[in-house]
Amino acid sequence: MAHLMTRPIPLILDVDTGIDDSLAILLACASSEADLRAVTCVSGNVEAAQVVMNTLAVLELVGRGDVEVAVGRTVPLVRPLMTAPETHGLRGLGYAELPPARAMVSSRHAVDLLIDEARRAPGELLLVTLGPLTNLAVATLREPDLPRLLRGLVMMAGAYRSPGNTAPTSEWNVAVDPEAMQVVLAGWAAHPGVPRPVALGLDVTERAKMTPDHLAALHHRAGDPSDAPMLTFIEDALRFYMEFHSRYDGFYGAFIHDALAVAAALDPSLIRTESVAVEVELGGTHTTGQTVTDWRRVWGREPNLEVAVQADVEMFFERFIERVGGLAATRSNVAL
The CATH number given to whatever domain includes residue 192 is 3.90.245.10
Establish if 2 belongs to a structural domain. Answer: no
Establish if 21 belongs to a structural domain. Answer: yes
How does pLDDT run across 172-199, given as a tens digit for each residue? 999 999 999 999 999 999 999 999 999 9
Establish if 17 belongs to a structural domain. Answer: yes
pLDDT for 6: 78
How does pLDDT run across 278-291, given as a tens digit for each residue? 999 999 999 999 99
Whole-structure pTM value: 0.96
Mean pLDDT, the chain, integer: 95
Establish if 1 belongs to a structural domain. Answer: no
Establish if 319 belongs to a structural domain. Answer: yes
Give the residue numbers marked as catalytic. 257
- Which structural domain range is residue 269 located in? 7-330
Work out how many domains the chain is built from and give that number.
Answer: 1
pLDDT for 227: 66
Confidence band, pLDDT 50/70/90 cuts, at residue 44:
very high
HEC profile for the chain? CHHHHCCCEEEEEEECCCHHHHHHHHHHHHCCCEEEEEEEECCCCCCHHHHHHHHHHHHHHCCCCCCEEEECCCCCCCCCCCCCHHHHCCCCCCCCCCCCCCCCCCCCCHHHHHHHHHHHCCCCCEEEECCCCHHHHHHHHHCCCHHHHCCEEEEECCCCCCCCCCECCECHHHHHCHHHHHHHHHHHHCCCCCCCCEEECHHHHCCCEECHHHHHHHHHHCCCCCCCHHHHHHHHHHHHHHHHHHHHCCCCCEECHHHHHHHHHHCHHHEEEEEECEEECCCCCCCCCEEEECCCCCCCCCCCEEEEEEECHHHHHHHHHHHHHHHHHHCCCCCC
Establish if 336 belongs to a structural domain. Answer: no
Establish if 335 belongs to a structural domain. Answer: no
How does pLDDT run across 45-73, given as a tens digit for each residue? 999 999 999 999 999 999 999 999 999 99
The pLDDT of 241-248, averaged and rounded, is 93
Establish if 140 belongs to a structural domain. Answer: yes
